[in-house]
Structure 1
Amino acid sequence: MPSSSTQRVDLRRVRAGLPEAAGELVGEYERHLRLERGLSEHTVRAYVGDVVSLLGFVYRDESAELSALDVGVLRAWLAGQRAGGASRTTLARRAAAVRTFTTWAQRRGALATDPGARLVAPRAHRKLPGVLRPEQADELMRASATGAAERDPVALRDHAVLELLYATGVRVSELCGLDVGDVDFGRRMIRVLGKGDKERMVPFGAPADSAVREWLDAGRAALAAPGGTALFVGIRGRRMDQRSVRRLVHDAVGSVPGAADMGPHGLRHSAATHLLEGGADLRSVQELLGHATLASTQLYTHVTVERLKAIHDRAHPRAR
């Protein structure tokens, strides 16, 4: 894992081109996002980058002051982003980022009012995620188990990774962060550290239990560096990284006939969809996935509804 110091925003670069006071404000905002909000490094970089872009727009006139930042300036900045080719999804994210900033800046006293409260941005298109059908998921796991039956350490690891991703619906970052001690075989649960360093316990079933046990019993020792704690490791013995897991899933799913092109996030989508189709309630799925709000989980209900509509169109004699 990279050290936190290498992941953090380079504030010297961020402040370049901004007045000193604005650069200091950006620094305070970055610390607020990381220390008080507990946001991930990826989110901090994105939010700070958007705010730097906005402030660069405000201070394009060297005589400008931060007090010039009003809803008209926000709209003009977003219009420029759109003219530059930004998608609706990107515009929606940037609008959310600057609204977070203006709310914070008003509370801190840097702005007299909160212009972001009046900002209305285009809604992002919510694309329905590609998911595996249950029979395709079965085929994926059967093929993976066939490879693991050869007792090759890498095949055992790959099978355990696929089973655990699909069984739990965890994010790829959460999977890569697992240590051996995070697996509770007695209760069939894993301890996951999610976004904002929030810990949760996620259950898994018998197939994942068997696959992870086999990896630990017959595969991990052949790859892991001495003293390492990571549950999943690469061929050099270090903790498996997200890129390797994405490549693993992409290649494995690509061998399933008719399956959509996907990576680990597709298995997460598939797990959530199959849980809902099997009768799980939305709140339980929200807790399992570690979603902060129910709105994120509700996307999966659209997947199941679309699938039901497709089945109805194919099967009902009065559908057309």
Structure 2
Amino acid sequence: MGRDAEKQAGDFSFPSMRSGYEVSYSFTAQGPVGVVKETTLADLLQRYADILWEEGHHKYNVKAFIGELDEILFGARFSIFSQDMLDSLIGALRKRGNSNATINRKMAALSKLLRKAYNMGDIHSLPEFRRQKERAGRLRFLEADEEEALFREIGNRSQLYVQLSIFLVDTGARLGEAIALKWNDVHQGRATFWVTKSGRSRTVPLTMRAKEALEALADRSPGPFAAIDQQKYRAVWNAAKVDAGLGDEADIVPHVLRHTCASRLVRGGIDLRRVQMWLGHQTLEMTMRYAHLASHDLDMCVPVLERHLK
């Protein structure tokens, strides 16, 4: 074979055949091999959703997020997810009125999916994901009288649901974590949550009220709250919220019980590092949302400021 023929039989890399995408071909004497197959976000979601996310409300949201992003891209096929594609998605979401916090949640789902696809060889590069700066909004939690009114209305509808509500507010557990709890996870006055958002288990001691809530459900198997349907619980919650006089507050959703638990710990003088461990936050930054409630730490400043008066 001559030198020219050898060149023709060698490997060649062709430029992009479509704007915005790069498709590489390798050639041998027998023809093209290793042709990169293009894919879509919808294809990747169908392939990896069950591997990456547990069944539940979060997985439902993730599917909605990825579906929206695929729709914005008009179902575009790609082998490289470029920075331009990512930037265009963020711009489109912002035009749709998405807050930076909402954009961050959608980008977190996209990043996890693309990282899996990259590791499996479905795509050949990843863009750089930058977290959008979020404005600190008002953090809603329940005062004692609000909790009493709300739980009374929930109890009028379902004793099972009010026991769950008590358990949530006294442990700070997420709704999915409590529902996934098994009796083997409760031992010597402590509850261990294995199915968590961060993927890291944590164990918290139980209040007397939380212990009584579990004891009232001792005949249920395989766990105290395993039979609860999240959507039905939310429906009862919303109806009870209206009757408790809290119907106008959009922030009062079941997750407010987790905020309430955290706020009570911080206001009671528990340091933020312990609150982080209790809630299972991956970083202290997430727990810092509650730092403004630790007003007791500033009380020592007042005598210093008043010294000049004496």
Report the TM-score, using the length of structure 1 for normalisation: 0.61
Distance (whole Å) between structure 1 residues aligned to residue 256 and residue 44 of structure 2 = 37
Partner residue in 1 for 2:182? 179
Distance (whole Å) between structure 2 residues aligned to residue 147 and residue 53 of structure 1 = 39
Tell me the alpha carbon deviations over residues 162-202 of structure 1, each in whole angstroms, 9 at most, x when there is no partner: 32111101111122223344333xx3212323325543222
Partner residue in 1 for 2:191? 190
Tell me the alpha carbon deviations over residues 214-235 of structure 1, each in whole angstroms, 9 at most, x when there is no partner: x23xxx75xx6xxx423137xx
Distance (whole Å) between structure 2 residues aligned to residue 132 and residue 91 of structure 1 = 27
Whether 1:128 aligns to 2:138 is: yes
Partner residue in 2 for 1:204? 206
SS at match of 2:133: coil
Distance (whole Å) between structure 1 residues aligned to residue 264 and residue 90 of structure 2 = 38
Tell me the alpha carbon deviations over residues 274-319 of structure 1, each in whole angstroms, 9 at most, x when there is no partner: 11111112222222222233232222224x269999xxxxxxxxxx
Distance (whole Å) between structure 1 residues aligned to residue 264 and residue 288 of structure 2 = 14
Partner residue in 2 for 1:263? 253
Partner residue in 1 for 2:16? none
| One-letter amino acid of the structure 2 residue matched with residue 246 of structure 1 | R
Distance (whole Å) between structure 2 residues aligned to residue 36 and residue 95 of structure 1 = 15
Whether 1:230 aligns to 2:248 is: no
Per-residue deviation at 1:273? 0.6
- Does the C-alpha gap of structure 1 residues 159 and 71 become closer, same or farther in structure 2, counting only changes over 3 Å? closer
Distance (whole Å) between structure 2 residues aligned to residue 259 and residue 83 of structure 1 = 30
Rg larger for: 2
- Are the aligned partners of 1:132 and 1:260 in contact in 2 as well (CA < 8 Å)? no
Tell me the alpha carbon deviations over residues 240-269 of structure 1, each in whole angstroms, 9 at most, x when there is no partner: 111233244444555556798423211111
Partner residue in 1 for 2:286? 296
| One-letter amino acid of the structure 2 residue matched with residue 179 of structure 1 | K
Counting matched residue pairs gives 261
- Are the aligned partners of 1:136 and 1:259 in contact in 2 as well (CA < 8 Å)? no
Question: Alignment identity in percent?
Answer: 23
Per-residue deviation at 1:205? 0.9
- Does the C-alpha gap of structure 1 residues 50 and 207 become closer, same or farther in structure 2, counting only changes over 3 Å? same
RMSD of the TM alignment (CA)?
4.4
Partner residue in 1 for 2:33? none
- Are the aligned partners of 1:247 and 1:263 in contact in 2 as well (CA < 8 Å)? no
SS at match of 2:39: helix
- Does the C-alpha gap of structure 1 residues 242 and 57 become closer, same or farther in structure 2, counting only changes over 3 Å? closer
Per-residue deviation at 1:132? 1.0
SS at match of 1:190: strand
- Does the C-alpha gap of structure 1 residues 131 and 199 become closer, same or farther in structure 2, counting only changes over 3 Å? same
Of Structure 1 and Structure 2, the greater helix share is in 1
Whether 1:45 aligns to 2:48 is: no
Tell me the alpha carbon deviations over residues 34-93 of structure 1, each in whole angstroms, 9 at most, x when there is no partner: 54788963465356436644764654xxxxx634x4323332333233334444333333
SS at match of 2:203: strand
- Does the C-alpha gap of structure 1 residues 266 and 24 become closer, same or farther in structure 2, counting only changes over 3 Å? closer
| One-letter amino acid of the structure 2 residue matched with residue 165 of structure 1 | L
SS at match of 1:132: coil
Per mean C-alpha deviation after superposition, the further-off stretch among 285-294 and 43-52 is 43-52
| One-letter amino acid of the structure 2 residue matched with residue 188 of structure 1 | G
- Are the aligned partners of 1:272 and 1:300 in contact in 2 as well (CA < 8 Å)? yes
Distance (whole Å) between structure 2 residues aligned to residue 100 and residue 36 of structure 1 = 8
Per-residue deviation at 1:126? 4.3
Whether 1:70 aligns to 2:66 is: no
Partner residue in 2 for 1:283? 273
- Are the aligned partners of 1:183 and 1:190 in contact in 2 as well (CA < 8 Å)? yes
Gaps of 5+ in 1: 1-19, 60-64, 234-238, 310-320
- Does the C-alpha gap of structure 1 residues 250 and 306 become closer, same or farther in structure 2, counting only changes over 3 Å? farther
- Are the aligned partners of 1:169 and 1:272 in contact in 2 as well (CA < 8 Å)? yes
- Are the aligned partners of 2:154 and 2:240 in contact in 1 as well (CA < 8 Å)? no
- Are the aligned partners of 1:194 and 1:290 in contact in 2 as well (CA < 8 Å)? no
SS at match of 1:292: coil
Per-residue deviation at 1:271? 0.7
Distance (whole Å) between structure 2 residues aligned to residue 81 and residue 172 of structure 1 = 28
